[in-house]
């Protein structure tokens, strides 16, 4: 689990410790077949910045709107920026249930920076999906990791 940052309020620190996992740990869970990353960014964000191979895409703002959660002006604007995703309640719950219950996977929520994914992990936990975690640092952390030169294998 990732450590809280000093600038975060104490209540966010406690929540982050419970709901957040580091990117390397999340990637390892995926490689071991124990988790699946769910990218909650809007489609236009993925088209502009790129995506992470092997992730499932479920746009958060469409889900929030579909479930009747109020959207802020910024969230509504982000929702309005792209083409509406073809998602309905049945499709959303079918996808999450297949990952969480059928495959018994940890649902690893990833966004651009880790803030929206923390919200989404909390939302899923409140809906009964106890194996939902936010991937700390999000897509930005993934891009940094991809930019690093590969470490040479050490001989024994």
74-128 pLDDT, tens digit each: 888 888 887 766 677 788 888 888 888 877 889 999 999 999 999 999 999 999 9
pTM flag (> 0.95): no
Task: Tell me whether residue 113 is in a domain.
Answer: yes
On the question of pLDDT at 40 being above 60, the answer is yes
pLDDT of amino acid 123: 92
For the sheet containing 132-135, what is the strand order? 20-21, 132-135, 106-110, 35-39, 56-57
Cα–Cα dist 99/113, whole Å? 23
- For the segment 23-43, the average pLDDT, to the nearest whole number, is 94
Cα–Cα dist 99/27, whole Å? 16
Task: Tell me whether residue 58 is in a domain.
Answer: yes
Name which residue leads in pLDDT, 149 or 64. 64
Residues shown for the chain: 156
pLDDT of amino acid 154: 63
Tokens 């792209």 correspond to: 82
Task: Tell me whether residue 26 is in a domain.
Answer: yes
pLDDT of amino acid 153: 60
CA angle 7, 5, 30 (to 5 degrees): 145
Among 114, 132, 113, which residue's Cα sits nearest to residue 122?
132
Task: Tell me whether residue 6 is in a domain.
Answer: no
Based on the structure, what is the number of domains in the chain?
1
Q: What is the CATH number of the domain that holds 63?
A: 3.40.250
Task: Tell me whether residue 148 is in a domain.
Answer: no
- Domain around 72: 22-130
List Cβ<8 Å contacts ≥24 apart for 28-34: 29/106, 29/108, 30/54, 30/108, 34/105, 34/106
Task: Tell me whether residue 65 is in a domain.
Answer: yes
Task: Tell me whether residue 155 is in a domain.
Answer: no
- For the segment 117-141, the average pLDDT, to the nearest whole number, is 94
44-72 pLDDT, tens digit each: 999 999 999 999 999 998 888 888 888 88
């Amino acid at each position: 689990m990732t450590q809280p940052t000093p600038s975060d309020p104490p209540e966010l620190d406690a929540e982050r410790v419970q709901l957040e996992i580091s990117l390397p740990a999340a990637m390892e869970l995926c490689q071991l077949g124990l988790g699946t990353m769910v990218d909650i960014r809007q489609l236009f964000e993925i088209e502009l910045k790129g995506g992470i191979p092997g992730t499932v895409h479920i746009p958060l703002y469409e889900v929030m709107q579909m479930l009747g959660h109020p959207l802020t002006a910024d969230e509504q604007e982000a929702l309005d920026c792209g083409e509406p995703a073809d998602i309905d309640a049945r499709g959303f719950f079918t996808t999450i249930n297949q990952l969480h219950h059928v495959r018994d996977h940890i649902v690893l929520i990833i966004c651009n920076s880790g803030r929206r994914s923390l919200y989404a992990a909390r939302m899923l936990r409140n809906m009964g999906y106890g194996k939902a975690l936010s991937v700390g640092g999000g897509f930005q952390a993934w891009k940094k990791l991809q930019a690093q030169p590969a470490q040479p294998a050490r001989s024994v």
